[in-house]
Structure 1
Amino acid sequence: MLQLRDLPTPAILDKFVQRYPDADVTAVVTFLHLLRAGTDLSFALDAYLQQHALLQGRWWVLILLMRESSNTAAPSVLADKAGVSRATMTGLIDGLERDGLVERVPDPEDRRRLAIQLTAAGQAKLDEVMPDYYRRVRQLMQPLSESERKVFIELLDKIQAGASSLSAPL
């Protein structure tokens, strides 16, 4: 993923506005700051998880399984919840199974189907990672008060609701 490290100056943005008069400079600046923050956070999370021999995709699968009452879910359900293709989910599951963190088990209702179950080793991996992860997230968010966090979530929800406008066909 490309990481935008050099945000445009007001002078650079003015140059773009001269060429593209419909540009809303404050909207562009806000969007670029949001994009950069998201990218920086994603890179930082990757670096943290690598210290635990994990990648984000695999970590999220473990978390999704732990959220289930039986620590078990169908691969298609995991793919839907993670927002990835079934083929991508199969690759994530293959790696987790190879490391002993999940196992494929027959579906009790239909033996032709398989479910994915978090193993004791998978739970142990989460137990190793999550306490420090939560401490780091608390430290990251500490500059924001509880009320600022609530407002921030509301603002992000508004932006997320309009995200499809960025990818909508012309």
Structure 2
Amino acid sequence: MLLLKDLPTVKSLEKFAERYPDADTHAISDFANLLRASSDISDALDKLLGRHGLLQGRWWILVLLMRQDDLTSSPSELAEKVGVTKATMTGFIDNLEREGLITRFMDSVDRRKFLIKLTPAGQQKLDDVMPYYHKKVHALMTVLANEERAAMLNSLKLLAANIDVMK
């Protein structure tokens, strides 16, 4: 993820508005701030997980497997849920399997497919990290009052529901 660090100044936005008279500089500024906050949060999560030998992609795979009643999923389902290509998922799976956090086995119904299962070591990794993760997420989210959080979530849902205007 590209981490936006240099937000536009009022002067730079005025320059844009001179060149592009239809530019809504307030919308651009708000959008840049949203991207900045998102990238900072994502970077902070990577650093938090990195202290435990994980990155977001590997973390979310373990979490998604734990959510399954049988701790099992297919690589393609995981790739879709995490939002990565099948090739990227293969790399994640290879690394997690090498560390013993997951195991790969043939699907008993369709022998052409593999399934992925969370191992006891993978569950232990989650058990070790999850309390720390919950504590840090709680600390971040409680800087907003419940009403502020609800308003933020409603706003984000509205933006996500209209993302097609960016295509």
TM-score by length of 1: 0.94
Q: Report the counterpart of residue 41 of structure 1 in structure 2.
A: 41
Q: CA deviation at 1:3?
A: 2.4
Q: Which runs of 4+ in 1 moved over 4 A?
A: none
What is the rounded CA distance, in whole Å, between the counterparts of 1:58 and 1:2 in structure 2?
A: 19
Give the letter for the 1:119 counterpart. T
Q: Aligned pair 1:152/2:152, yes or no?
A: yes
Q: Aligned pair 1:27/2:27, yes or no?
A: yes
Give the letter for the 1:163 counterpart. I
Q: Report the counterpart of residue 7 of structure 1 in structure 2.
A: 7
What is the CA deviation profile of residues 64-116 of structure 1, one whole-angstrom value per residue up to 9, with x for unaligned ones?
10111100001111111111111111111000000000000221222332110
What is the CA deviation profile of residues 2-60 of structure 1, one whole-angstrom value per residue up to 9, with x for unaligned ones?
42222122122111101101111111011000000011011111111111011111111
Q: Within 5 A, what are the aligned runs for 1:1-170?
A: 1-166=1-166, 168=167
What is the rounded CA distance, in whole Å, between the counterparts of 2:164 and 2:121 in structure 1?
A: 39
Give the letter for the 1:117 counterpart. K
Aligned length: 167
* Aligned partner of residue 104 in structure 2, secondary structure: strand
What is the rounded CA distance, in whole Å, between the counterparts of 1:73 and 1:84 in structure 2?
A: 15
Give the letter for the 1:15 counterpart. K
Which structure 2 segments of 5+ residues have no match? none
Q: Percent identity?
A: 52
What is the rounded CA distance, in whole Å, between the counterparts of 1:86 and 1:135 in structure 2?
A: 32
What is the rounded CA distance, in whole Å, between the counterparts of 1:90 and 1:157 in structure 2?
A: 31
Give the letter for the 1:140 counterpart. L
What is the rounded CA distance, in whole Å, between the counterparts of 1:2 and 1:62 in structure 2?
A: 24
What is the rounded CA distance, in whole Å, between the counterparts of 1:89 and 1:5 in structure 2?
A: 29
Give the letter for the 1:121 counterpart. A
* Aligned partner of residue 112 in structure 2, secondary structure: coil
TM-score by length of 2: 0.95
Q: CA deviation at 1:139?
A: 0.5
Give the letter for the 1:128 counterpart. D
Cα RMSD (Å): 1.1
Give the letter for the 1:47 counterpart. K
